[in-house]
Structure 1
Amino acid sequence: MLQVKDLPDKAILEKFASRYPNADVDAVMQFLHLLGVASELSIGLDEFLSRYQLLQGRWWVLILLMREDNFVSSPSKLAEKAGVSRATMTGLLDGLSREKLIERIVDEKDKRQTQIKLTSKGQKQLDDVMPDYYQRLGKLMSVIDKNEGETLMRVLGKLKQNLTIFD
C-alpha cells in the first residue's frame, strides 16, 4: 500500500483549489489526515503481527474461525466476511494449512464441499497474540476519553455510510 508521509499543508491545498475550484480545502485536509492515520495503523498492526509470524489477512481468518461456535466455516463465508475474493481466501487458507493453524475438512458425501476448522495450534497462536494485542490497543486508545470515543464512533459511522461516493 502506498503511504503518503508528507501530507500537504493548507497553503499547498489552496494552490490546488485555485486550479480545482470544487476542492474543499478543509475536507481534503481532514480526509488526508484520516487516510494517513489509517495507513499508519495498518502498517503498525502488520509490524506487530509479524512478531508472531502473522499478517493481517491470516490473523483475521483465525479470528473469524474463532468467532464460530464450533470454530468451523466454509471458505466462501470466510471470504465474504473478510471482504476478499475466493482466490485470495484460498491463498490465505493454503498458508494457514501449511502451518497447521487450520485444517480442511472434506465432506464425505460431496467431495467438492470443504469446511475450514481452526486447529488447537491455530487457537494457541491467537492465545499468544491476543493479550498483547489488547494491551497495545488499550494503550493506543487511552489518549481519548469515553465521550471522545463515542464521538469517534459516530463520525466514523457517518463516513462509512457515505462511502458510496466512490462507487
Structure 2
Amino acid sequence: MGNVNFDLKDIPKSEDLLKFSNKNMPLKINAIQACLFLFRTTDEISKIVDSQFQKYGVSDGKFSVLMTLYNRNNHQLTPSELSNELNVTRATISGLLNGLEKDKLVERCKHPSDGRMLTIKITEKGVKLMDELCPKHFTLLSKLLGSLDCESLNSFIDNLKLIRIGIADRIFE
C-alpha cells in the first residue's frame, strides 16, 4: 500500500474547519473530517501491512504482481496484461518484475504463440511464498477490520464504492 504519511494527531474540530467555509464555497464539515479519519486510518493500515510484507522481502507492488499471477490458472501473464490488471505503467511493472526476477519469484518465458513477446510466470519459489504469506496476510486484514460486524462491513464497502464512483465522476482543478 502506498504510504500517505498522514500524521495529523488531532482531526480539526468543526468550528476550526468552518473558518474556511463561506456562502460562495460552503464546506461539508463532516465530509472533511471523515476524509481526514480515512487518511489517518489508511496510513496506519499501510504501516502494519508494509511491516508484514517486509518480513517476507516484498513490497505491496511486488505482492500485487505475485497475487495476480498466483490467481491465474497457468500462473502467467504478459507484462502488458499485468500492467492493465494492476492499473500501473509498463515502466512500473518492468521495475517490479526486475526485482521479482532477481529474487527468483518470477521468470520471463517465451510467449507460447508469439515469439516476439514474453510472458511472466510465477516460479515454484514464488508459489511457496504466496502459499505461506497469503493466509497470514488475509488473517491480518481480517483482524484489522474485525471490530466491525458483518452488516457494518457491508455498509462500509458500499460507502467506499459510492466514494469511488463520486471520485470517478468529478473533474478536479
Q: Which residue number corresponds to residue 149 of structure 1?
A: 153
Q: Can you list the C-alpha shifts for 1:112-167, whole angstroms capped at 9, x where unaligned?
A: 30000010000111122112112222222220001101111111111111112255
Q: Return the TM-score normalized by structure 1.
A: 0.90
CA distance in 2, matches of 1:161, 1:2: 21
Higher fraction of helix: 1
Say whether 1:66 aligns with 2:55: no
Say whether 1:88 aligns with 2:95: no
- For CA contacts below 8 A with separation 6 or more, give which structure has more relative contact order: 2
Q: Which residue number corresponds to residue 5 of structure 1?
A: 7
Moved over 6 A (4+): none
CA distance in 1, matches of 2:120, 2:55: 25
Q: Please say if residues 4 and 39 of structure 2, whose CA atoms lie closer than 8 Å, have aligned partners that are also in contact.
A: no
3-state secondary structure, aligned to 1:117: strand
Q: Can you list the C-alpha shifts for 1:20-65, whole angstroms capped at 9, x where unaligned?
A: 7332211111112112212222232111101111100000100000
1:49 to 49, 53, 60: 53
Change in Cα spacing, 1:109 to 1:81, as seen in structure 2 (3 Å) is closer
Change in Cα spacing, 1:162 to 1:131, as seen in structure 2 (3 Å) is same
Paired residue type of 2:47? I
Name the stretch that deviates more: 7-16 or 99-108.
Answer: 7-16
Number of aligned residue pairs: give it. 167
Q: Which residue number corresponds to residue 115 of structure 1?
A: 119
- Give the aligned CA root-mean-square deviation in angstroms: 2.0
Gapped runs of 5+ residues in structure 1?
Answer: none
CA distance in 2, matches of 1:113, 1:26: 51
3-state secondary structure, aligned to 1:116: strand
